[in-house]
Amino acid sequence: MKIRSMLTDRISAGELNSNDKPELELVKRALRSQESINTATLASLMDVVVRTDDKGSILSANQSVVLMFGYSNTDLIGVNINTLLNEIEESYSENKHH
């Protein structure tokens, strides 16, 4: 953890050189490992999880979103979150009147 913190500080300061390659590889491996853990965790959740950017564009969604809305994960990327929220609202309104 200390190596990662030191490298982060040096990256921010623009002070990296070719001697830092072994440490950078360690950080890259740690990040790939953490990404795998995050992906597996999100995939196993029954709750709907959607990650968006600051404009509301979907960056990723877990399998529960795919099952709930019927879109493939690929189709959801880039769609504004309001599209899904509108579908929920429309579905709720239809069910409320029946």
The pTM for the full model equals 0.57
Quick: pLDDT tens for 32-86. 888 888 878 777 777 888 999 999 999 988 888 888 888 888 899 999 999 999 9
pLDDT of residue 52: 94
pLDDT of residue 48: 84
Our CA angle for 69, 73, 77, nearest 5°, is 105
Average pLDDT value for residue range 9-32: 75
Cα dihedral 83, 63, 59, 41, rounded to 10, equals 140
